[in-house]
Amino acid sequence: MHDESRRIEERVQRLHDQRIRTAVYAATVPFEVEAWQAPGEPVPFEEAAAASYEPFAMGTPWGPPWGTTWFRMRGQVPAEWAGKRVEAVIDLGFTGDWPGNQAEALVHLTDGTPLKAVNPLNQYVAIANPARGGESVDYLVEAASNPDILADNFSKTTPLGDKLTAGDKPLYTFRAADLAILDEEVWHLDLDVQVLRELMLELGGHDPRRHEIAHALDRAMDLLDLDDVSGSAAAVREALKPVLSKPAHASAHTISGVGHAHIDSAWLWPIRETKRKTSRTFSNVTSLADEYDDFIFACSQAQQYEWVRDNYPKVWARIQESVKNGQWAPVGGMWVESDGNLPGGEAVARQFIHGKRFFMDHFGIETKGVWLPDSFGYNAAYPQIAKLAGNEWFLTQKISWNQTNRFPHHTFWWEGIDGTRIFTHFPPVDTYNARFSGEEMSRAVRNYQEKGGASRSLAPFGWGDGGGGPTREIMERARRLADLEGSAKVVVEHPDEFFAKAREEYPDAPVWVGELYLELHRATYTSQARTKQGNRRSEHLLREAELWATTAALHAPGYAYPHEKLDRLWKTVLLHQFHDILPGSSIAWVHREAEAEYARVARELHALTAEAVAALGTGGTRVFNTSPYDRAEVVRTADGAPVYVEVPASGSAPLTDAAPPQPVTVDGLVLDNGLVRVEVAEDGTLSSVRDLRAGREVLAEPGNLLRLHTDLPNYWDAWDIDKHYRNRYTDLLDASSVAVVEEDPLIGAIRVERSFGKGSTITQTITVRAGSPRIDIETDIDWHETEKILKAAFPVDIRAPHSSAEIQFGHIQRPTHTNTSWEAARFEVSGHRWVHLGEPGYGVAVINDSTYGHDVSRTVREDGGTTTTVRLSLVRAPRIPDPEADQGRHRFTYALLPGATIEDAVAEGYSLNLPLRVADAAGAPEPVVSAEGEGVTVEAVKLADDASGDVVVRLYESRGGRATGTLRTGFPLAGAQITDLLERPLEDAEITDGAVAVTLRPFQILTLRLRRG
């Protein structure tokens, strides 16, 4: 037989694209359309319904950036259409096929009932099947003219990312709004041909099945009447039945399809637009559930459900009904799909606490898995946190984006820093927006790395990255691929069912230990520094407010613990930990609003803490220590005078002078407190840091070296930092001023001022305080650079085989060498409050109050010694998607801690991030709890969420070793229980001599519920 593959393939493509697809709608008549441009921000339906509308013609430009245009569409089904399947088809002037980053709309009935959204790939609204001739159709359509921020594929900056700079020129031209007859036979033929053609093209030229499909399609096309596609469609479909009905091979891979709509809670649009996106997508989904009994939709992010509940009650009611019917699956159990690296440990716990509680309260469902397809790497504490929240499985897809190394598993056990394991899956289809194309089906099978051990994978299907969700076309593809020779098999099912089957099939899956590091998007540890600082400050202010509110609730008669306010503030912070807000990868509007929200949160939390402290009594001045460690340090009074104080962990003390071990001396540019001697060079770097206790020089080269690098990644500007950034840089050594600014027995400080680049300035105050080896570097930057990154280097004379960086509830060790491609790919990493470098007998820590990104490297000097350098990433200047990212003022502090153990790093990390509070207070209650035992660290103290009055304490082992100790209470203790994160009892805790006995494995998290006597 001659090879006619090319002729057949080209014939099928042309007939499908130009004749079959264009005949799906058999007839159309236009709507009569009127328009009203809403002024400013979106308005409620009632206001839009009462507005005055003007005639609007197709082909007319509409929609200023971020605007809302309401269209009234009226039509009448022609009499001759009676008995047909009639739909509305609306083309707002869509550009491309990205459904989540351009125009979209929600169609309402005139009584305000939302029907369904229209998107580029989902333009219809069902009217009737069968229709009645003469039936009137009257819609109000809320159309959002959101700009396509990435229209130029990262090649150009744009002012469209903020309504303040976007202008008012219309973005779209309305193409069509029609009543139409859907020719179901042609529509099904369209899908038959698509599925077969795509499968054919994925099969190898040697595969008989490819040729069988080709010739079947060729013969079927002979039956297609080009003058009457509708009339001949049934015959063509009948001819294709034999190749569509051949069952899949017995050993075919099985793909569990789960409906999905990845809706970023903010990204290339603001939060206010996400609230509308959820209503549009969820309207689509509930409509599809009505049409397809076998449809199942998985949806995470409790925050988005709450938005719909509060703003779209009719859509919310439909969701509740779909959940009852088993077609809607709440998943993930988190408040939002948060970033996987940057939120603090307690914040990650609260993500699960608030998320899981929402689903249990509103649906009676406890979610079983973590659903995080798109976060930019995952910290090694996740397995334990997830399991303590009652989760059984973990899903992500993003690691497939690795720049260097291919992750070796798709189904595996993930082991965290404490030894907890959770069953984990990466969909080999490599997308969370699957549509069951032939290419996707082939890719899933080809990629799947568990062949021979397992035979199934999961595929989230539906348009996402902004919403839209599954469509009827995708569901039809899934039905055709359920059992089709040459393809993987598709079954639509709940993700819990997939994970149960996968675990049963593959109980001895391989184990991956430690963090899931994404070899991409490394700049998300640094971009939009003010957003990150707002998060860090908020997390610590929440801790402070909860501790002192608990103290006041226990000891101040009449004080009421502010459950509702704290709940609301926590949810605000959790929302802004979404994986495109906290990482700094959103448009300007998002980050402008985030900074304003963090400022509001800070004001409220300061007020709550002040109220709690005041409730303890007034008439004196006390110092309050929110840290879980005793502190002896210098604090400033209201008039700025320094005082040396000693304050117990989680407690308070009078503001009275204590004697420091030794005063600070200032000699020229040398600061000395008997613990460390710091010499500042004329260029503003640290020329020497001598640890007087150990009798050794800490630095191998000048420290606090500020280096400005050119920083233009290959593609994702705000997301990425590529290794070539290191090749071009300028060291900032031209100090305009280096001078002593404070000389006191308790504080010595030297200020360094610099100007550089495009008018940027940086002022750093290097401070040494009595009684502390910590050297603080308070930094004030006025930043005006573009496509640059500023780093601060500390090259220390230590041979460190690894660095240790704090993460959630512990720390992680990373090799300082680059023996393999895996280590080399970690050229920029994340950490929380500290990074530690150590050799046997000696260590140094770098502490910070708001930065996350850093790099660690080492070299061997000519004298044989080793220099290990840690460099903090301070600020970047990407231009896409926010052309003004990070411009302006930044204020933060980082510090060098010579002679530091891990325990020292933990304690000083808390101290720097939880400044002592000086307040008017007379009461001197005992600390709510006091932990005894090395490594036993209290992370949170609060009242129980059920308002029972019980005290909840979360603690963890912080050194990485076993710990035993006790937890003593400052109130009569009647009982204690070990609970999960949701404060549900697991077992009774042991109480000895009025204290709770604590035994912890390395990095174990323990939540205790304490009943008051």
Question: What residues are annotated to the active site?
Answer: 374
Sign (positive or negative) of CA dihedral 93, 99, 104, 109:
positive
> What distance in Å separates the CA atoms of residue 734 and residue 682, rounded to the nearest whole number?
9
* Spatial strand order in the sheet of 951-957: 936-943, 951-957, 1005-1012, 973-979, 985-988
Virtual torsion, Cα 978, 984, 986, 990, nearest 10 deg: 30
Query: Torsions phi, psi of 949, nearest 5?
Result: 95, -10
Please give the distance of CA 893 from its chain centroid, rounded to a whole number. 25
Peptide bond into 881 cis (omega under 30): yes
Tokens of 152: 């130029």
**For residue 809, what are the CA distances in angstroms to 28, 187, 959, 960, 1005?**
62, 55, 10, 10, 7
> What distance in Å separates the CA atoms of residue 871 and residue 863, rounded to the nearest whole number?
23
> What distance in Å separates the CA atoms of residue 946 and residue 950, rounded to the nearest whole number?
9
Q: Is 41 exposed, middle or buried (0-12, 13-18, 19+ CB in 10 A)?
A: exposed
Residue 490 carries which side chain, given as an amino acid letter?
A: V
Closest CA to 517 of 859, 875, 823: 823
Identify whether the C-beta of residue 731 lies closer than 8 Å to the C-beta of residue 707. yes
Q: Is 580 exposed, middle or buried (0-12, 13-18, 19+ CB in 10 A)?
A: buried
Identify whether the C-beta of residue 779 lies closer than 8 Å to the C-beta of residue 691. no
Residue 98 carries which side chain, given as an amino acid letter?
A: W
Rg for the chain, CA atoms, rounded: 31
Give the DSSP letter string of 522-543: GGGGTSSHHHHHHHHHHHHHHH
Give the DSSP letter string of 850-893: S--EEEEEEEE-TTS-EEEEEEEEEEE---SS-TTTT-EEEEEE
**For residue 283, what are the CA distances in angstroms to 45, 273, 316, 320, 347?**
16, 15, 9, 12, 31
Give the DSSP letter string of 199-265: HHHHS-TT-HHHHHHHHHHHHHHHT--TT-HHHHHHHHHHHHHHHHSPPPPTT--EEEEEE-----S
> What distance in Å separates the CA atoms of residue 496 and residue 499, rounded to the nearest whole number?
5
Q: Is 998 exposed, middle or buried (0-12, 13-18, 19+ CB in 10 A)?
A: buried
Give the DSSP letter string of 167-211: -----EE--EEEEEEE-HHHHHHHHHHHHHHHHHHHS-TT-HHHH
> Who's near 570: CB < 8 A, 6+ residues apart?
350, 354, 542
> What distance in Å separates the CA atoms of residue 415 and residue 386, rounded to the nearest whole number?
12
Q: Are strands 254-259 and 456-461 parallel, antiparallel or unpaired?
A: parallel
Residue 559 carries which side chain, given as an amino acid letter?
A: Y
Q: Where are the alpha helices (DSSP H) in 292-432?
A: 302-311, 313-324, 345-363, 382-388
Tokens of 567: 């709940």
Tokens of 13: 């493509």
Virtual torsion, Cα 257, 258, 259, 264, nearest 10 deg: -120
Report the b/e string of 437-468 with b at 16+ CB within 10 A: bbebbbbbbebbbbeeebbbbbbbbbbbbbbb
